[in-house]
Chains A and B, each alone.
Chain A
């Protein structure tokens, strides 16, 4: 996983509610392909016209937001499918942080697993950052600081945000969950032995069929 401490750049506004993971990356791009190379396909149904050329009306195609590392989004961003490819596609496009009033639960978890920071901010704060960025034509940057847990707006105002302590540490350190969990493998095995006695039906049928 990519570590995350701070990121700075123009914040690209895409404030529609309920932007789903099918829109972020169509499933067809995830059939038989790896996790790299998805960046050009992120938002492809909004980003390109039917003839394959860029849609000039799509906000992320505007010159000031190309390569933005920060996405400003609307409520329930990343709802829908569990596809982790949505995170890979956003990161492939250059994003390292998404700021939204709320996120789809599965997408939110998937972000942390890859080093994309999802930040929950009030809608007013997001509108404010969007307005300040637009006023400066994208020339003034927003800074997301995970160590201090603040977002610094283009005008220099500091907006604190909450982040789960475990997730924060994992992002800053770039920790691997599996390795951490395997440290308590003894407890997992003990739990399983006890559960086998308490709920044999959960385990027996599986063995009978084996």
Chain B
């Protein structure tokens, strides 16, 4: 019987059938971060349990650490206390921690792929909803809450129900200015912020095959913004070439054996999905969000929607509230809207290719005088690689601040925030009310679009700058 990649990873990880559709699922990797990691370890120990497999657990501070140049753990004292707890508990339980400034430190969903901690065919969990990012390497990766995190630390398993399967195929060639971020935002705009609820999404099609691993990680990152806690891309030669030689990737005979298994993971051509969707690449233009849900998204050439055109009363009320919060008028072109801040970073778009794409737009240009522009590399390695090729200098020359790795302005848990009422074009993943700071107005876009907004001082179509 034809199988999906979801079947091929899920089924062998079932340790026990718990009945009623429930499986006890083995988790091959657990990632911890500073916001919840220390407390989770503490609670497991306080309950009298042991950490089941500390060698399969990896920790990094990212959420509540300052991104200021020269920062230490104490730059943001509340976060410093969380990190102190994580350090102490990780040391006590024998969990590897990649600390601030060390090789390997970074945003958890940037550093884990980068170090080869994430491998195709593995089940991976983390107390963070953007864990779906790691599916870009062909892993089955999902975010969990604090209770499930305690469970997995104590048992290395989780009771789970198998999600339904969904496939989104992106077919054709990317038009100019269209990046993986635009692909996934366009999908969320078309299918809705709840379209993936209860599903594991596999991204496929010729345009996905053509993506780099970095691009696939970006694509999978926003699965949760479509409601799906799992997103994945089948591993292929691009994946294997990218993984080879990474710190925790297998070597020698183990690598050869792994490759044979990984090549058998992709869904069969005749596999059936519970939902099967397709998007033609020629229909996608560079995207920008206008409201307070990722489904509030437009091509940059579009106009702010009119609540009078909403499908029902609740949607109309939601659109009206979004427009009021965002300070936008119905029917106005989104391009040309003046911006105050630009943020390039987050587990969505802070990898080396993202920084290259933004820097390419900046060359020979300056950030508009009224714009505050930050770039926060996703990891210590991304930062060092970018510095080695002079990207930091290009950002600085244009007027960007070049900062230290972390989640920073994506989640504003580290004392840094976009000021109330300020408008920010951001390469992150959530434009929720208050996400980047109380009263902050977020427009999600690709790194190139963010750079275009920085230099023009307004939401701008990157294709016109490239010309």
CA distance A105 to B229 in the complex (A): 7
For A50, A178, A207, which residue has the most chain B Cβ atoms within 10 angstroms? A178
* A28 on interface, CB distance cutoff 8 Å: yes
Which of B20, B157, B321 makes the CB contact (< 8 A) with A165?
A: B20
Main secondary structure of the interface of B (DSSP, over half): loop
B28 touches A202 (CB 8 A): yes
Q: Mark A179-210, 1 if CB is under 8 A from B, else 0.
A: 00110110110011001000111101111011
A200 to B258, CA, bound (A): 8
Name A165's closest neighbour in chain B (CB-CB): B20
Binding-face segment, A11-19, A131-139, A140-148 = A11-19
Interface residues of A in 73-130 (CB under 8 A from B): 74-76, 79-84, 87, 102-107, 109-110, 113-114
A184 and B16 within 8 A (CB): yes
In the bound complex, residues from chain A placing their C-beta under 8 Å from that of B439 are 50
A201 to B249, CA, bound (A): 8
Interface bin, chain A: 35 or more
CB distance from A124 to the nearest CB of B (A): 12
B35 pairs with A184, CB closer than 8 A: no
| A152 is an interface residue with CB less than 8 A from chain B | no
Q: Does A164 interact with chain B (Cβ within 8 Å)? A: yes
Residue of B nearest to A46 (CB): B433
Partner of B55, one of A74, A102, A188, A206: A206
Please classify how large the interface on chain B is, using the bins under 10, 10 to 19, 20 to 34, 35 or more. Answer: 35 or more
In the bound complex, how far is the Cα of B248 from the Cα of A102, in angstroms? 39
Q: C-beta contact mask, B207-243 vs A, less than 8 Å → 1, else 0?
A: 0000000000000000011011100000000000000
A15: B residues at CB distance < 8 A = 314
What residues of chain A lie closer than 8 Å to B438, measured between beta carbons? 26, 45
- Mask, A33-49, CB within 8 Å of B = 1, is 00100000000011000
Known interface pairs A31-B413, A187-B15, A195-B26; A76-B78 also in contact (CB < 8 Å):
no
Check A30 for interface membership: any CB of B closer than 8 A: yes
Q: A104 contacts B116, CB within 8 Å?
A: no
Q: Are A31 and B82 in contact (CB under 8 A)?
A: yes
Q: Which of A26, A75, A114, A206 has the most CB of B within 10 A?
A: A206
The answer for the CA separation of A84 and B247 in the assembled complex, in Å, is 32
Partner of B151, one of A20, A178, A201: A178
The docked-state distance in angstroms from the alpha carbon of A84 to that of B19 is 26
| B191 at the binding interface (Cβ < 8 Å) | no
- Interface residues in B150-169 by Cβ distance below 8 A to A read 150-151, 154-157, 159, 161, 163
B79 touching A104, Cβ below 8 Å: no
Contact present for A22 and B145 (CB under 8 Å): no
* Contact of A178 with B154 in the complex, beta carbons under 8 Å: yes
Query: Shortest beta-carbon distance, B32 to chain A, in Å?
Result: 13
Partner of B435, one of A22, A32, A50, A102: A22
Is the pair A80, B295 in contact by a Cβ cutoff of 8 Å? no
Pick the residue among A30, A188, A201, A209 that contacts B15 (CB under 8 A): A188
- The digit string for B396-413, where 1 denotes a CB below 8 A from any CB of A, is 000000000000000111
- Do residues A22 and B433 form an inter-chain contact, with CB atoms below 8 A? yes
Residues of B within 8 A of A177 (CB): 147, 151, 159
Q: Are A80 and B432 in contact (CB under 8 A)?
A: yes
Tell which of B121-129, B279-287, B341-349, B459-467 binds the partner: B121-129
Known: A102-B197, A114-B147, A188-B15. A82 touches B128 (CB 8 A): yes
Residues of B within 8 A of A207 (CB): 55
Q: Given known contacts A102-B197, A181-B151, A188-B155, is B16 in contact with A82 (CB within 8 Å)?
A: no
Q: Is the CB of A166 within 8 A of B145?
A: no
Cβ contact within 8 Å between A76 and B321: no
Residue of A nearest to B317 (CB): A16
* Contact assessment for B28 and A110 in the assembled complex, using a CB-CB cutoff below 8 Å: no
A172, CB-defined interface residue at 8 Å: no
Report the nearest A residue to B251, measured CB to CB.
Answer: A205
Measured CB to CB, the closest approach of chain A to B264, in angstroms, equals 12
Could you tell me the distance between the alpha carbons of A182 and B156 in the complex, rounded to whole angstroms? 10
Contact B229 A178 (CB under 8 A): no
The 5 A-B residue pairs with the shortest CB-CB distance, nearest first, are A113-B147, A201-B250, A76-B194, A110-B145, A84-B145
Interface residues, chain B, with chain A CB atoms under 8 Å away: 15-16, 18-22, 24, 26, 28, 35, 47, 49, 52-53, 55-56, 63-64, 78-79, 81-82, 96, 116, 119, 121-122, 127-129, 143-148, 150-151, 154-157, 159, 161, 163, 193-194, 197-198, 224-225, 227-229, 247-251, 254-255, 257-258, 261, 293, 295, 314-315, 317-318, 321, 411-413, 420, 430, 432-435, 438-439
Q: Can you pick out 26 interface pairs between chain A and chain B where the beta carbons lie within 8 Å of each other?
A: A16-B314, A17-B318, A18-B293, A22-B434, A23-B433, A27-B63, A27-B413, A31-B35, A46-B433, A50-B439, A76-B227, A81-B128, A82-B145, A105-B163, A105-B229, A106-B145, A113-B145, A164-B21, A166-B20, A178-B47, A181-B155, A187-B16, A200-B254, A201-B257, A202-B122, A209-B96
Known: A27-B411, A80-B129, A188-B52. 7 other contacts (CB 8 A): A17-B293, A82-B128, A106-B229, A110-B147, A166-B20, A166-B159, A178-B47
